Amino acid sequence: MTTYYSDDHEWITVDGDVATFGITAHAAEQMGDVVFVEQKDAGDTFEKGDEIGVVESVKAASEIYAPVDGEILEVNAALADAPGQLNESPEADAWIYKLKVSNADQLADLMDLDGYKALIA
């Protein structure tokens, strides 16, 4: 498994052609207390850069953008009842989607952890 990061403060961990996707701890910290997560449905397809959800906090609402082309395989339904999980465990239990990656070449446009740390420094 390999984890990549976007400049939109999202992470994606890829295992074969299936990826787990969410927002970074840095993003969650900057947003403050998350109060609502708007998610697309399993089966929805998207292209890199498409808006695929919204995270709302007490400070602001932030769009979630697809880091690669793909299809939503699974939605983390637990976030509907407990959106604050994104503050508690944004890069583990509080993943937002499981995705089927349809263009793995796009992963090369994303950063590794060192690149992301340099971005947020």
For domain 2-105, say whether CATH 2.40.50.100 is its number.
yes
> The whole model's pTM is what?
0.93
How much is the average pLDDT of 82-96? 94
Q: Residue 112 has what pLDDT?
A: 97
List the chain domain ranges: 2-105
Q: How much of the chain exceeds pLDDT 90, in percent?
A: 96
Q: Which residues contact 91 (CB under 8 A, 6 or more apart)?
A: 11, 22, 24, 25
pLDDT digits (tens, 9 = 90+) for 1-23: 899 999 999 999 999 999 999 99
Q: Residue 24 has what pLDDT?
A: 96
Q: How far is CA 77 from the centre of its chain?
A: 14
State whether residue 72 is helix, strand or coil. Answer: strand
pLDDT digits (tens, 9 = 90+) for 28-67: 999 999 999 999 999 999 999 999 999 999 988 999 999 9
Question: How far apart, in whole angstroms, are the C-alpha atoms of residue 82 and residue 68?
Answer: 27
Look at the block and give the residue holding tokens 């906090």: 57
Q: Residue 108 has what pLDDT?
A: 96
Question: How far apart, in whole angstroms, are the C-alpha atoms of residue 74 and residue 103?
Answer: 18
Alpha carbon separation from 36 to 26, 60, 91 (Å, rounded): 18, 11, 17
Q: Residue 5 has what pLDDT?
A: 97
Rounded to the nearest integer, the mean pLDDT of the chain is 95
Q: Residue 113 has what pLDDT?
A: 96
Alpha carbon separation from 33 to 38, 65, 88, 99 (Å, rounded): 15, 20, 10, 26
